[in-house]
Amino acid sequence: MSAATVAASRSTTSSSSATAAPPATVTDSALVRRAVKAAALGNAMEWFDFGVYSYIAVTLGKVFFPSGDPTAQLLSTFGAFAAAFLVRPLGGMIFGPLGDRVGRQKVLALTMIMMAAGTFAIGLIPSYASIGVWAPVLLLAARLVQGFSTGGEYAGASTFIAEYAPDKRRGFLGSWLEFGTLAGYIGGAGLVTLMTALLSADDLTSWGWRIPFLIAGPMGLIGLYLRMRLEETPAFAAELEKAESERPKVPLREMITGQWKALLLCVGLVLVFNVTDYMLLSYMPSYLTSELKYDETHGLLVVLGVMALMMIVQPFAGALTDRVGRRPVIAAGCVGFLLLSVPALLLIREGSLLAVGLGMAALGLLLVCFTSAMPAALPALFPTRVRYGSLSIGFNVSVSLFGGTTPLVVTALIGATGNLMMPAYYMMAAAVVGGVAVWFMAESAGRPLPGSAPAVEG
């Protein structure tokens, strides 16, 4: 059986029946599993890089931005990290509409190649001591390639899984996309933690930091192989069929102005999702080390433990969104961050291993409310013909303005005010914005995607 069949059109209908059964897409379980694996691996690779970059930020500052001030080094490193997010909307505006025109599978294969190449290139860049100012310039160029390619990655991967999944299991299957995020981050951060423990500071600075980035090459080839073996999604195939086998052409303007209400909801939901995500997974390791002077190895291990806990809970939370809905789960996360961000950060600032672990675990479990629901909720905001493009634009604008800049902004706010509670206040503000978006968001659990036929398990 192919990826899907239009069940109603193939079902027998009585000649005396006045009304035909509504069309339904019957999914192929084996292909659905392959689609989920291929999409999740790409997300894992993206976050493997983020995990490496965040956890080795202090070392990268010494290699590429020599300075007598550790805070200036860290700001420069996170500045290069944030710069990649400035080109993400451009990547979204190119890859998204392209995915709506030529297909999701082809574009996801292309983004995989570019992501792997950008990450691999970082591992080959000479240090500042070797080539001077060209070192940070080349680092920035590699980060821009990564940012451009990831502009089409998350929206495409979540769209891919959502369009393959049966309606009643879309939350559970979509949650594996963020399971891949956590697995990739744990892989990258765990490798850096192991290297930090085994290598001397001099060895890590001179050559050890390159190893995690060079691993991206083989990972990219594996991901490309998996994605090239996939068929196009049933929803996109049906859209082509409706267009009489001609690739649908949708102006970029229609993807923005024609979907402005859904885009605003998307920006608000992605804001709370990514501010909290980048705060916990990208910023907190450096916060523990640079701001709280916490033991580096112990701090890294605590964050890895929290992410492992999140991985365990993730699929169960995804299944919960199929039962109770996406809105209640996302709303619970917003309320939790509004009420518990300050207590959690106060626990972290207390400094003991138990207190730091409890504070980080509280934030991690709240974050699961978003990671489990968003991969299914966001694609359901848009109809099939503009889903990849509109979601790419909304997602990447929000990530670029608010998510990827979180480490840089919070570091700068702490430097300007001296207030170590800034991370908590920033998460609370994001929770308010996310709560407003949830209020206006329609429930999508158990329902067909807009513009698509109902999807049932085969």
Q: Encode pLDDT of 369-426 as tens digits.
A: 999 999 999 999 999 888 999 999 999 889 888 887 887 888 888 888 988 899 999 9
**Intra-chain end-to-end CA distance of the chain, in Å:** 10
How far is the C-alpha of 95 from the C-alpha of 61, rounded, in Å?
32
Q: Could you tell me the pTM of the whole model?
A: 0.84
Q: Which two tokens stand for residue 128?
A: 């500042």
The helix/strand/coil state of 189 is helix
Is domain 28-445 annotated with CATH 3.90.850.10? no
CA–CA gap between residue 350 and residue 358 (Å, rounded): 11
Strand partners, 457: 27
pLDDT for residue 230: 80
Beta bridge partners of 456: 26
Q: How many angstroms separate the CA atoms of 154 and 115, rounded?
A: 12
Judge whether 27 and 457 are in contact, CB under 8 Å: yes
- Please tell me whether residue 96 adopts helix, strand or coil conformation: helix
What is the rounded CA–CA span in Å between residue 99 and residue 389? 7
Q: Are 159 and 284 in contact (CB under 8 A)?
A: no
* pLDDT for the residue numbered 352: 79
pLDDT value for 74: 65
For CA atoms 61, 67, 68, 72, the dihedral sign is negative
Contact between 169 and 189 (Cβ < 8 Å): no
Distance CA 255, CA 71 (A): 41
Max Cα–Cα distance, the chain, nearest Å = 85
Residue 10: the pLDDT is 36
Question: Which ranges of the chain have pLDDT less than 50?
Answer: 1-22
CA distance 60 to 205: 8
**Closest by Cα among 370, 371, 405, 374 to 391:** 374
Element of type H or E holding 26: strand 25-27
Distance, in Å, from the CA atom of 123 to the CA atom of 212, rounded to the nearest integer, reads 8
Which single residue is written with the structure tokens 């039962």?
323
Using alpha carbons only, what angle is made at residue 161 by residues 82 and 389, rounded to the nearest 5 degrees?
Answer: 55
pLDDT for residue 2:
44
